[in-house]
Structure 1
Amino acid sequence: MKLLKNTLGRVAAVSLSMGMLAGTSAWAGPTAQVVWTSEKNPGDGAWFNGPISFPYALSQQASATFTNPTSTSATTISVDPTAQYQTILGIGTSLEESTVFNLARMSAAKRTEVLKKLLDPATGSGMNFLRITLGTSDFTGRTFYTYDDRPYGQTDTSLTYFSIQKDIDYKIVSTLKEALAVNPNLKIFASPWSPPAWMKDNQSLIGGKLLTQYIPVLATYYRKALQAYQAQGIPIYALTVQNEPLYTAPDYPSTSITSDQERQLIIAVRNELNANGLSGVKIWAFDHNFDSAASYVAPVMSDATANAAVDGIAFHDYAGDPSAMTTVHNSYPSKNMLMTERSWWGTAGADRMAQYFRNWSVSYNAWVTMLDSTIKPEQWTGTPGPTMLIQNAYTYDTYWALPEVYLIGQYSKYVQAGAKRISSSYGSSTTVTNVSFLNPDNTIASVIINQTGSNQTFKLVSEGQELLATIPAKTVGTYKWTRQSTGTPTNLLANPSFETGSASSWASEWHNAAVAYKVDTDYPYLGSYKLTLFEVGAYQQLLGQSLSVSNGTYTASVYVRSGGGQNVLRLYAKNYGGAEKTAEIGSGVVTNYTKYTISGIQVTNGTIEIGIWADANANNWAAFDNFELVKN
C-alpha cells in the first residue's frame, strides 16, 4: 500500500461569473485563493483495509476574482469583517499514546513525513494545537499507568515516587519534541484520565471517585507533571483538570469529580502554578459533553476565586448540541470556549466544525490520530471508527491518509492563530454552509461546505463585492483573499489596542479603593490584548489619554463588552475647549463587542483627552479595545 499522492484527482476550474452593475463598467476586485477537499466513504471501516482514492485533497483550484454584484440567482453567503467575535487559538488533533505507539514503530524519516503531513503549515495541513494525556487514557498500547503508581494499599502524599519516565520510555516525549521541530508554533495542552489510584475511593485507575482529602496533593501532582514536561523542553499551554468528570468507565482510566471538587481543585492548581513559575499555564474547566456543561460549571464559576483561575471551559461532543457553548459563553463572556475532543468524518464533520466556531469555540481538536489496519492499539469499550491516518499493521512505514487529514486542513492551514471569527451567513445544509475568519495578516478565510450530492453555485458577498462560484458535491472549499483597504482616516491615539501589553500612553488615571484596570489577553476585539475593568469590591476607575491635536472636528470611538451592573460606564471626551461629551454604555449587559461613538467633538484649544470612566459595583467587569480618535 502506498501513500495517496498522484492518485488524487487533478484540479478543475472553479466556475465564475464576472458581473457588472447596470450602467457601469466591469470591475475586478481582490482575487481569492481556492482550495478543495472532498469526502470519501466517511466513517467507513473499509478504510482499515487500505487506501481509497478521492478527487480533492487540499487541491488548489483556479483563483477566483471578486467583481461588482451580479443579478445571478444563487445561495448568498454575506461576509462582514467589521463584525468580529472570538479569537481563534488553534486547530489540531491528539498525540495520545495509541498514535505515538504507532509512530514509534516507523523509521525516523517516515515519522517525520507523517508529522509534516499533519503539522507543517507550508507543506501539510498546518495543525497547530495538540492534546496529550497525563498518564494513559483508553487509547494506549500499554498497561494503564499514572506518574505515581503505588502497590495496593500504599499512598505517596509527598509524591516521592513521582516520575514521567514512562512517557520518556514510551517515546511520547521524543515524539512531541519532533512535532515541535516540525511546527515550533504548536500549542500543547494536557488532560488526565485518572489520578493515581491511591487518591480514589476504589483504589483503582478504572472508575471510582476522587477523595476530596487528596485535592491538595493532586494539584501538586499536576504541577510536577507540567514542570517535568517543561524540563524536557515541552511547554504545556493549558491543562484540563479531569477528562470527562461525569463518566466513570467500566474498563479504562476515568474518575468521577463533582463540580465542588473541581472548584476546589482548580483553585489549588492555580495556586500551585502561580507559586512555582507556571502562572502562564491556562486552566480549563469541565472537559465533557455539551448537555451537562451549564449545570456542571455553574458552581465552579459562581466562586469568584475559581472563576478568576479559569481561562476557559472545554467541551466534548458526544451528547447535546454545540449551542450549549453559546449558552455558557453568554453566562461567562470573558472565558474561552474550547472544543477539546471529537472526531468527525466527511463534509458533515466539516459542517459540525463550522457549528463549533459559530458557537464561540476558539479551538478544535480531533481525538486519536492513527490506529493500525487491525484497529490497534486501543482499550476503549467500543470499536473505533477509522482514524485520519491508518498504519499498515505489518509494514510499519506504510500508511495512508483519509480525507479527514485534509478536511481539517481546510481550516487549520488557512485560519491563523489569532484570527477573528467574523459575521457570515450560515447558509443551508441543502445548499452550502459557511463560517468565516479574518486573519491577523488581513486575509479573510471563508470555509464553504457542500454536503449535498450535487454541485452547488453560491455567491460570497463582502464589503460591496461579489464572488460567484460553484463547488462540487460532497466537497469543502476554502476561499481566501486579502481584505482591501477601507481608506479609514489615521487613528491619532497611541497604543489604542494595548498591543504593547500595557497601558502605556494612557497616563490620565484615577481610582478610589483599588486599581481596577489591567491589560490582558482574554477575548480581545483585535490583536492580542485588550483593557479590562474589574474588581471584587465596588470601584471607581478612570483611564484616559491626553494629546495635542490641531483644531477641528473629531470623532472618538471604542469597542466594548460588559457584564453589566455598573452605576456609570462611559466613553468620554474632555479638555478640548468645550463641555465634556460622553457615549453612555450604561448598566446593561453588552454580550458582543459593540462600537460606542462620540461625534462632533469641536477642538478649539489644541488638546483633547479621551478615556473611560466607571462607577461600578463589586465584580462588575467591562472590556475595551480598539480605541480611536480621528479628525473628520
Structure 2
Amino acid sequence: VCNATYCDTLDPLVLPAPGTYVKYESSKAGKRLERSQGSFQRNLVLTVDTTQRYQKVKGFGGSVTDAAAMNVFSLPETAQDHLLRSYFSEEGLEYNLIRLPMASCDFSLHAYTYDDVPFDYELTHFSLHDEDTKLKIPLLHRAVAMSKRPLSLYASPWTSPTWMKTSESFVGKGTLKGQAGDKYHKTWANYFVRFLDEYAKHNLTFWAVTAENEPSAGLINNYPFQCLGFTAEQQRDFIARDLGPALVNSSHRDVQLIILDDNRLHLPHWAKVVLEDEEAARYVHGIGIHWYLDFIGPIQDTVVPTHELFPDYFILATEASIGAHFWERDVILGCWERGNQYSHSILMNLNNFVAGWTDWNLALDLEGGPNWVKNYVDSPVIVDASEGIFYKQPMFYHMGHFRWVRAPPTRSQLPRLQILGCRSHLSRGEQGRFVGRGAFPGSDSLPGVASCSCLCSKFIPEGSQRVGLVASKESKKTDLEYTAFLRPDGAVVVVVLNR
C-alpha cells in the first residue's frame, strides 16, 4: 500500500560476488522485494546461446485512459508522484511504452470524439477535450520528466464521430459511410493527423498509431461501447487510399502505423489481406494483438505463421486486462494468480516473436473503473481516493519483479553461457528476482523455481534481442517457463516463471 508519505521502491542493481546471488523475493504471504543473499547450487541447467538471434524488443508499458488519469489525479499530489514514479522512474518499472485512446473509450465518463459537429469535413471544429488538456497531457508530461528512457507513445481510436458512421451512433454495429477514397474516409484519415498536430502543440510526439482499436467490434450487433467496424479488406483499402497517404504527406510522416490491434485469432488472415497488398503494405510497420481470446487462438496457429510470412513487420501485444470476461470478478485485491497470468502471457509472447507487451489501464478505482458502460476490469494499481492510497497488485510486481542480469561477457565468453539453477529457494506461489555473477564456464546461475516475470520493462530495454535458451532434461520436468535476452549493453537477462 502506498500513500503520500510512503511507497516501496527498487534499489539500484549491484552485481554480487562471483558464485553468489542476491535474491529479491515477494510472496503471497506478504514479502515485497525482500532482499537476501546466497550461494549457487548445481541442479537445474539453462544454457544461453547468443548465436541464436530472434526479434528485437520495442518495450513494455501501459495505457493512459481517461479513467487511469482520473484515478491518478484523485490522489494527493505526493501520492500521485509515487504512483507515476513506480511506473516510469529508475525507482520503478521504467515503462517505455504508453498507449493512449484517441478521444474516448469505455474507460471514460461519457462518449465523445474531437469533432462531434455534423458534416465538418474540414475539421474546423476539431478540438481536444478537458480529458486531454487537464488529465492525460499533464500526466504524460510528468511521466516524460521522470523517465530516464525515451517514452514511445502510441494512439488508438475507438470510434469516429457519429456523423461519419453508418449507424450514426457511438455504439453498436457500424462502419464508416461510403468507401475508401471518399470524403468520409479522407476526413477520418485527416482526423488522425489533426490529433497528432494538437498533441504536438503540447510538446508530445507519437511513435505510432493503430488504424483502429478492435475493428471487429464494430461488426457486432449491439456492441455496448465505442467502436468502428472494419473488415480486413476495408482496413487494407482505407490504409492504401486514405490513412497511409495522409500520414506520409503530413509533418508526422515518421509516425509508424500498426494494423489489427485486435485479438490474435484474426491472424494470419488479417495480415495476409493487408500486407499482401503492395499499396497498403508500404505504409504499415507493425501488427497489434490483444489477449482476450487467446484461449481460442493458439499462438502457434496465429502469431508464429504471421511472423514467418511477414518477418519484416513487428508484432506488439497492445492490450491486456483481467476481469473483462463475464465469468471473472472485476477487481480482486491481492490475487496472486492474476499476476501469474500476466507473466505467462508475457513469456509466451516473447518466446514467439512478439516485440513487447502493453497493459491496459495504469490505474483504476476499487470498482475497476470509472467506466461509462460499467465494463469494469482489474488493474496492476488500484486507487482508493477516499483514503488517499493506492495498492500495487501482484500484477504490478509480475510486470516488474523477477530479474537476472549478468555482466557483459567478453568476446571469448560468447556465444554460449551456462546458467545453473538452484532448487528450493522459492516455493510455488512465491516470486523473486535473482542477480548472479560467476566465472565461465558453468558458474553463472539462477534459481530454477522463481515464480514471477522479469522486471521486463526495467531489465529488457528497447533494442534487446531474444537469444537461444536451452533447458536440461531435469529442468524440462519442472513447471518452469523461461526466456533470455541480450541487451544493447551486452548484458544477458534470463526470465523464469514457475506457476
> Do Structure 1 and Structure 2 share a fold, with TM-score over 0.5?
yes
1:52-92 deviation per Cα after TM superposition (whole angstroms, max 9, x unaligned):
x63233x4443767xxxx9x543x32211221111101101
Post-superposition shift, 1:322? Answer: 2.8
Indicate the SS of the match to 2:479: coil
Pair 111,2 (structure 1): closer, same or farther in 2 beyond 3 Å: closer
**Any stretches of 5+ residues in structure 1 without a counterpart?**
17-27, 41-52, 452-632
In 2: Cα distance, 1:259 partner to 1:235 partner: 28
Deviations 1:128-174 (A, max 9, x none): 1111100111112x211111112xxx311111111113343441111
| Bigger fraction of residues in helix | 2
Equivalent residue of 2:169, what SS? coil
Given that 2:4 and 2:77 are in contact with CA atoms closer than 8 Å, whether structure 1 keeps it comes out as no
Structure showing greater radius of gyration is 1
RMSD: 2.7
Return the letter of the residue paired with 1:391.
Answer: V
Of the three residues 113, 125, 130, the one matched with 1:161 is 125
Q: Is residue 2–residue 79 contact of structure 2 (8 Å, CA) maintained in 1?
A: no
Identity of aligned residues (%): 25
Distance 2:371 2:361 in 1: 10
2:217 partner SS: coil
Tell me the distance in 1 between the aligned counterparts of 2:215 and 2:477: 34
Q: What are the residue-to-residue correspondences of 1:41-56 with 2, within 5 Å? A: 54-56=30-32
For 1:5 and 1:437, the matched residues in 2 are separated by 37
Higher relative contact order (CA 8 A, sep 6+): 2
Residue in 2 that maps onto 1:118: 87
Distance across 2 between alignment mates of 1:104 and 1:5: 16
CA distance in 2, matches of 1:220, 1:135: 15
TM-score, structure 1 normalization: 0.61
| Alpha carbons 1:206, 1:253 under 8 Å: kept | yes
The offset of 1:291, in angstroms, is: 1.0
Shift in Å, 1:31? 6.6
TM-aligned CA deviation for residue 433 of structure 1 = 1.3
| Amino acid in structure 2 at the alignment position of 1:312 | G
Match of 1:446 in 2: 494
Q: Report SS of the residue matched to 2:492.
A: strand
Verify: 1:269 aligned to 2:243, yes or no.
yes
CA distance in 2, matches of 1:123, 1:387: 20
Matched, 1:139 2:116: no
- Distance in 2 (CA, whole Å) between partners of 1:31 and 1:188 is 39
Q: 1:433 is matched with which residue? A: 481
The letter of the residue matching 1:438 is L
Measure the CA separation in 1 of the matches of 2:51 and 2:97.
27
1:159-238 alignment runs, 5 A limit: 159-183=123-147, 185-207=150-172, 208-211=174-177, 212=179, 213=182, 214-238=184-208
2: CA distance, partners of 1:240 / 1:394? 36
Task: Determine the structure 2 residue equivalent to 1:301.
Answer: 275
1:275-318 deviations in Å (ceiling 9; x for gaps): 12211100000011111121122211111121121100000111
Q: 1: distance between equivalents of 2:7 and 2:61?
A: 25
State the aligned residue count: 408
Q: What's the CA shift string for 1:587-620, capped at 9, x where partnerless? A: xxxxxxxxxxxxxxxxxxxxxxxxxxxxxxxxxx
Shift of 1:107: 2.8
TM-score (normalised: structure 2): 0.76
* Pairing partner for 2:223 from 233, 243, 250: 250
Which residue type is aligned with residue 339 of structure 1?
A: A
- 8 Å CA contact retained: 2:20, 2:37: no
Counterpart in 1 of 2:382? 390
SS of equivalent to 1:366: strand
Q: Does the 8 Å contact 2:25/2:31 carry over to 1?
A: no
CA distance in structure 1 between the aligned counterparts of 2:200 and 2:74, rounded to whole angstroms: 26
Q: Which runs of 5+ in 2 are unaligned?
A: 323-337, 401-454
Structure 1 segment 395-406 matched on structure 2, within 5 A: 395=387, 397-406=388-397
Alignment partners' CA distance in 1, 2:345 and 2:477: 11
Within a 5 Å distance, the mapping from 1:250-399 to structure 2 comes to 250-267=223-240, 268-319=242-293, 320-323=297-300, 324-343=302-321, 345-380=338-373, 382-384=375-377, 386-395=378-387, 397-399=388-390
Partner amino acid for 1:194? T
Letter in 1 for 2:120: D
Contact 2:3 2:79 in 1 (8 A): no
Letter in 1 for 2:139: T
**In 2, Cα distance between equivalents of 1:370 and 1:289:** 23
